[in-house]
Structure 1
Amino acid sequence: MTKTVTVIPGDGIGPEVTREALETVDALGLDLRFDLLDHVNADTYLRTGVSLSDEDFGRVKASDAVLFGAIGDPRVKTSDYGRGVLLRLRFELDLFVNHRPATLLHEDLSPLRDARAGAIDCVIVRENTEGLYADIGGVLRENTEHETAVDADVSTYMGVSRVMEYAYSIARRGVCMVDKSNAVRHGGKIWQRVFKKAASRNPIIRSTHLYVDTAAMKLISDPSQFDVIVTNNSYGDILSDLAAVLAGGLGNAGSANINPVTGFGLYEPVHGSAPDIAGRGIGNPFGAILSYALMLENFGWTAEASALRRAVGTAISERRVTADLGGSLGTKEVGEAVRSALSAR
């Protein structure tokens, strides 16, 4: 059955890395149809004031998944644009899981000197629709010396329960729940209660708990101890970027924003739009390619997803990489290296 995938290349290096990732996925010969929304970008927002039109949102909703490039442009001075595209998709499609794998693809890529860094192979599961990013709050006496800003950190029993259930469903060895319940008491009580219930239902999975500051330290000192980390929106945002750097850099990091109930997902590299190198053809396409591997896996094409990951690993081992990984190739040449490795399988 044909899968329809909406493609939003976005801004900066987004279109460049998306192009290479799409060509790479296309080389697999799968039954996919792509619906390109290349007008959803900062140029359109600056011209019309619209981030994502209702018509375009309808096209996304009618598809089976979204492949996303990057969002962000230095000409846009408000957060309304990014929130109107990416956060609208996350919230209105209820993509309550942010799934961020961190796997070291080659031992030379990790900044850690300890040999244990070679065992980095974990997933950060981040609650994606609540927390500090729910936009609950406001400002009093704006633009005065008495200005007061309030942002509320929102945790619901349902929201925490469903992301906890997902974390345990993908665990191979253990789940580490990360919070700051010793200081953030009210939401912390929900996370603690849900975690203890989930742990009791999954006795064969090793269940541990860390405060977020301790978790950050342990990720650096010995990342091999982690299998699945589950946490809230803001802590997950920070820890997943840290884990990505330990596993070789943001340029290699892919992510999936998914609703495990509906099966819908939005897949994106996490490196951002990188406006300083946009248009120069030197952006790293690995993050986009590995994000699309997550999509194939969720569609049930696990062999093809594994083939993509192996092909990326081959390109890295052969040093056919962009400058951020110590190479000299451009985006297109790196995409060709991955496709060459695919064809040789």
Structure 2
Amino acid sequence: MKNYKIAVIPGDGIGIEVMNEGIKVLNTLSKLNKDIAFNFDWYDWGCEYYLKHGKMMDEDGLEKLKKYDAILLGAVGFPGVPDHISLRDLLLKIRQGFNQYINLRPIKLLTAQDCPLKNKKVEDIDMVFVRENTEGEYAGVGGFQREGTKDEVALQTSVFTRKTTEKVMEYAFQLAKSRKKLNKVTSVTKSNALNYSMVFWDRIFKEKSNVYTDIKTESFHVDATSMYMLQRPESFDVVVASNLFGDILTDLGATLQGGLGFAAGANINPEREYPSMFEPVHGSAPEIAGKGLANPIAMIWTAKMMLDFLGHEDLGERIMKSIVEALNNREKLTPDLGGSGTTNEVGDRICKIIENIG
């Protein structure tokens, strides 16, 4: 039996609610499959922890997390804690500290009725974003000068290294080969305006394109990409983007698949030198926390991504089939999908389907 040690950081707002459903699904799978088991250790880090202790996580938090096979994160954000603190002192600290330089975001439509675009079929929206996750615009380099005066200046410097950019591009091309969809990688750039960072990005993309001659390539500016995602989403397969551009465009992608309730995500260290972290990206939604209104599908889909990474694609596929089947009964879904079901009820329903198809 393979027994996985999983660190659980439910975080803030709806994080605990959706996390409970993700754990419930994983425990259901372990009961059906005696070759796999999970041991979960919970950490109460996040914004509410910050309000009590003045820090987002323990000082030795990264050292504590190193021993795990993977990390599950629920959501981060809470009134009273500035967003730049909540993001940089927990999420980015883990991403950068564990060199999770790949942010993987599937944009896949599961039922046609959830798509806001006209005349689009399920197969028309099926792309994966490979977002650079530790450098770029979120590197955290910069500062203030003459702060508080009329001459105040804020500096924010993007950092792109050849080493990381090459690895991100390589990951994207390898993913395009494995998906066998369009065998295409689209690069997102803005080199007409960003005459150093994005010119550098374009150059490395061209170098990788010359290596992977069996993979089709295209490159669009970020503004054009957002337009094409709405006009012809079926033309995308694997999309590789910088930290900022990938962050923005994947929220647009979540809208294409039915909303942030479907937005699963993974922060991956491909070399497995450190644990990877898996998180839905819908935010903490404190306004609905504790009401049972949160859609747990993104969290459950995220658990599927963790299983894939751990080498259990068969179990991950069982989760996806169960999610799709659950979407057929709209009344039992959460209100964002037109139903009257609670977070807990949706999780229970997906678990029941998993048991039935197991």
**TM category, shorter:** over 0.9
TM-aligned CA distance change 1:78 to 1:178, over 3 Å: closer
Q: Which one of 27, 50, 55 corresponds to residue 45 of structure 1?
A: 50
Contact 2:295 2:336 in 1 (8 A): yes
Residue 42 of structure 2 corresponds to residue 36 of structure 1: yes
Q: Which one of 238, 244, 247 corresponds to residue 248 of structure 2?
A: 238
Residue 317 of structure 2 corresponds to residue 309 of structure 1: no
Structure 1's unaligned 5+ residue stretches are none
Residue 136 of structure 2 corresponds to residue 124 of structure 1: no
Cα distance between partner residues in 2 of 1:156 and 1:102: 27
Cα distance between partner residues in 1 of 2:83 and 2:284: 16
Residue 286 of structure 2 corresponds to residue 285 of structure 1: no
Q: How does 1:94-173 map to 2 (within 5 A)?
A: 94-116=99-121, 118-171=123-176, 172=180, 173=183
Count of paired positions: 344
Cα distance between partner residues in 2 of 1:318 and 1:141: 59
- Determine helix, strand or coil for the equivalent of 2:196: helix
- Residue 20 of structure 2 is matched in structure 1 by 19
Contact 1:116 1:224 in 2 (8 A): no
Across the aligned residues of Structure 1 and Structure 2, the Cα RMSD in angstroms comes to: 1.3
Moved over 3 A (4+): none
Give the superposition deviation at 1:117. 6.4
Q: How does 1:48-67 map to 2 (within 5 A)?
A: 48-67=53-72
Give the superposition deviation at 1:81. 3.2
Contact 1:156 1:190 in 2 (8 A): no
Q: TM-score, normalised by structure 1?
A: 0.97
- CA deviations on 1:219-245 (whole Å, 9 max, x unpaired) are 000101000000100000011110111
Task: Please tell me the residue identity of whatever aligns with 2:211.
Answer: R
Residue 258 of structure 2 corresponds to residue 257 of structure 1: no
Q: Which one of 294, 298, 307 corresponds to residue 309 of structure 2?
A: 298
Give the superposition deviation at 1:116. 5.0
Cα distance between partner residues in 1 of 2:116 and 2:193: 32
Q: Which one of 197, 202, 207 corresponds to residue 212 of structure 2?
A: 202
Q: Which one of 318, 324, 334 corresponds to residue 322 of structure 1?
A: 334
Give the superposition deviation at 1:78. 5.7
Contact 1:176 1:210 in 2 (8 A): yes
- Determine helix, strand or coil for the equivalent of 2:354: helix
Contact 1:117 1:222 in 2 (8 A): no
- CA deviations on 1:48-99 (whole Å, 9 max, x unpaired) are 1121113332221111110000001012136223311111000000000000
Contact 2:96 2:134 in 1 (8 A): yes
Give the superposition deviation at 1:146. 1.7
Work out the percentage of aligned pairs sharing the same amino acid.
38
Task: Please tell me the residue identity of whatever aligns with 2:41.
Answer: D
Cα distance between partner residues in 2 of 1:157 and 1:112: 38
